[in-house]
Structure 1
Amino acid sequence: MSSFLFSVNAVLPVFLLILTGLVLRRLALIDEGFINVSSKLVFKVALPALIFSKISRVDFLSLLNGKEIYTIFFLVSGGFFLIFFLSGFFIKNGAERGAFVQGAFRSNIAIVGLAIIINVFGDSGAARTAISLVLIFPLYNIYAVMALVIPLQKENAGTIKMILKAIVTNPLIIAVIVSLPFSLLSIDTGKVFETFTGYLSNLTLPLALIGVGGSLNFSTFSEKFSKALASALIKLVFYPVLVVIILLAAGIRGESLGVIFIMLGSPSAVSSYVMAKAMGSDSDLAAGIIVLTTLGSVLTLGLGIFLMKSYGLI
C-alpha cells in the first residue's frame, strides 16, 4: 500500500495540473495566445531559473556520473535508430513516418518528467536531471531533425546550422552552464537572489503543465488514431521496459534508475508538434501522439514507479 500511495503522490498532482489546463481551455478561460506566451515565459525565464536554483545549491561533482551519462547516450541514440529503422517497414508515407518516430522517442523531460522527478527524488533528482539535459537536448534536436528530414528525402542545407543554433542558444543548457561555477566553487548567491530565483522557479511547473493541458487537441484522432496509438505504445510501454531491463543489466539501481526511467518514459514532447508542422511532416499525427502519451503516461509512469518501489529498485 505504501508503494502505491508513493506512486500516486508522485504522478497524480502533475496530471491534475494538466487536466486543469484542459478544463480551463474548454471553458475559454485560457486561449492559444495565453498558451504561446506562457510557454515562452516558462522556456526562456522560469525553467532556466529552476535549473539554476537546483544545480547551484548542490555538489555537482557528486552527481556527475560518467556511467550514467554514457548509458543515457546509448539509450537515447539506440532507441532512436531502432524506432527509425523498424518504422520503415510499416509506414511508407514520409511525413507520417517522421512524426511517428519523433513522437515515439522524444520525451517531455523538462516539464512532465522534471515535475515527477522532483516529487519522487527532490532536489538531488532535479539537479541530476538538469545535468542530463545538457546531453539529451542536443541529441533530441539532432535526431528529431533526422527523423523529419530523411523520410521526406529533403536536401536542407540549413539543417546543421539550425541544430547548432538550437543547441548554443537553448536557455536550459545556458542555465546549466551558468550555474556550474556556483556549484563547483560553493558560491553563495545571497538571500535576496535566492528568493528571487525561487519565485521564478515556483512559476515553472504549474504554468507549464497548465499549458500542456490547454494545448491538447482531440480533433485529430479519427484518421490518425491507429498510428498515434502504435507510436504511443512504443513511447510509454516498449521503450521504457527495454530501458529498465538494460539499466538493471548494467547494475544501475536507486535514484539513477528512477530518474532515467521517468525521463525516457515521459510523454512525447509538445515541441514535437511544432517541429513537425514547421518542417512539413504530419503535424496532425504528432498532435495525436502527444495527446495519447500525455494521458497514457498517468498509468505507465505511476505503474512503473509503483513496481520499482515495491521491489526495492528505487
Structure 2
Amino acid sequence: MEVLVRLLALLVVLLVGTGLRASGVLDAGRTDTLNAVAYYVALPALIFISTYDQAIGELLSFALVGGLLVVLFTTAGLAWLVHRRRDTAGRRSVAIVQSYHSNLGYLGLPLVAATFADPVTAIASVILGVVTLVQVPLTILVLSTSNGAGAELAEELRGLATNPVLVSLLAGLAVGSLGVAFPGPVVGGLDVLGSLALPLALLCVGASLEVDLPSVDYGATGSVVALKIVAMPVLAWAVFSALPVDTETFVAAVVMLGTPTAVSTYVFAAELEGDPEFASLNVFTTTLVSIATLFVLITLIT
C-alpha cells in the first residue's frame, strides 16, 4: 500500500505540472528555469550524495554493464522489428527510440532514492551514467540516419563530457574510491537538494506533456508502451536473474529499465526531423501507464 500511495503521489505532482502549464503559471520560460534547477542542481546533488561514500569497485561490475547493454540493444532490436513498417521515416524512427530510451534521470533515480535503501540508489546512479553514455548517442544515430538530419554525432558526444549527470557521477565515484571525508553540513545540504530532484522533475515532465487526441495512432503508441514499460523490464528481470549480481543490483536494474520514455526524446525528435507530436504523445502515455507497471514491478521485487 505504501508503494501505491507513493506512486499515486508522483502522478498527482505530474498532473499538477500539466495543470500549471495549462493555466499559464508554468510558461516556457519558467519551465526552462525549473528544468535547469532540476538538471544542473538537484539531480547532480542526488547522484553525488548517493555515490560519494562508495568505492567504484563496489558498484561497477562487468555483469552490470554487460546486462545493461544486452537489455538495451535487445530492446532496440525488437523495436526495429516491430516498427520498421511505420508509414513515415519520422514516425518510424521516433517509435524505435522511444521504445528503449528510458527516463532514468528525471524519474528512475529519484524514484529509486525515494523507495529503496542507499545501496540500491548508489547502483542506480551508476546505471544512469552507463546507460546515458549508450542510449543518447544511439538515439541521435537512429533519428539522424532515418530522417536524413545533419546531426554531428561527434559534437553530441563532446557534449556528454560536460553532462552534469556524468560529471557528478564521476566526482562521487572518485571521492568514494579515494576515501575523502566530507563535512556533515555539506552532506546534509546536498541531501536536501537531492530530495528536490523528484518533485521538480515531475513538474517539468508534466509541464512539457502535450496530447493531440485526434491525431493519435493507437497501434503505434500501444506498441511503444508495450515495448518500453512491459517488454524492457521483463527482459531486464530475465537477464539480471541469470547474471551473478547481488539483490541491490538486480532491483536497481529492473526498476531503472522499467521507467517510461524520456522527455528528451521529444526534444531529439523535434531537432532531428522526427515526428514531435507523436513523440509527445508517447512520453505522456508511457509516463501515465508506468505508474501502474512500476507499482507491479516494485511490489514483486520487495
What TM-score do you get using the length of structure 2 for normalisation?
0.92
SS in 2 for 1:284: helix
Q: CA 1:111–1:56 in structure 2 vs 1: closer, same or farther (change >3 Å)?
A: same
Give the match for residue 31 of structure 1. Answer: 27
Q: Distance in 2 between matches of 1:131 and 1:168?
A: 16
Tell me by how many angstroms 1:8 deviates. Answer: 1.4
- 2:108·2:255 contact (CA, 8 Å) conserved in 1? yes
Give the match for residue 123 of structure 1. Answer: 118
Q: CA 1:169–1:221 in structure 2 vs 1: closer, same or farther (change >3 Å)?
A: farther
Which of 169, 180, 190 is 1:176 aligned to? Answer: 169
Range that drifts further, 293-302 or 181-190: 181-190
Aligned: 1:12 with 2:8:
yes
Q: CA 1:50–1:277 in structure 2 vs 1: closer, same or farther (change >3 Å)?
A: same
Q: CA RMSD in A?
A: 2.0
**Structure 2 gap segments, 5+ residues each:** none
Q: CA 1:195–1:6 in structure 2 vs 1: closer, same or farther (change >3 Å)?
A: closer
Residue correspondence of structure 1 range 1-314 to structure 2 within 5 A: 5-88=1-84, 90-152=85-147, 154=148, 156=150, 158-219=151-212, 222-250=215-243, 252=245, 254-309=247-302
Letter in 1 for 2:249: S
- 2:49·2:187 contact (CA, 8 Å) conserved in 1? yes
SS in 2 for 1:240: helix
Q: Distance in 2 between matches of 1:122 and 1:17?
A: 23
- Spell out, residue by residue over 1:260-301, the C-alpha distance to the aligned partner (whole angstroms, 9 max, x if none): 111111010000000000111100110010010010001111
Letter in 1 for 2:76: F
Tell me by how many angstroms 1:221 deviates. Answer: 5.5
SS in 2 for 1:188: coil
- Spell out, residue by residue over 1:91-134, the C-alpha distance to the aligned partner (whole angstroms, 9 max, x if none): 14110011111111111111111122113323222211111222
Letter in 2 for 1:66: F
- Spell out, residue by residue over 1:18-63, the C-alpha distance to the aligned partner (whole angstroms, 9 max, x if none): 1221233333332222111111221122211221111113344322
Q: Distance in 2 between matches of 1:253 and 1:26?
A: 45
SS in 2 for 1:105: coil
- 1:25·1:214 contact (CA, 8 Å) conserved in 2? yes
Tell me by how many angstroms 1:253 deviates. Answer: 6.1
- Percent identical pairs in the alignment equals 24
**Structure 1 gap segments, 5+ residues each:** 310-314
Q: How many residue pairs get matched?
A: 302
Q: Distance in 1 between matches of 2:127 and 2:259?
A: 15
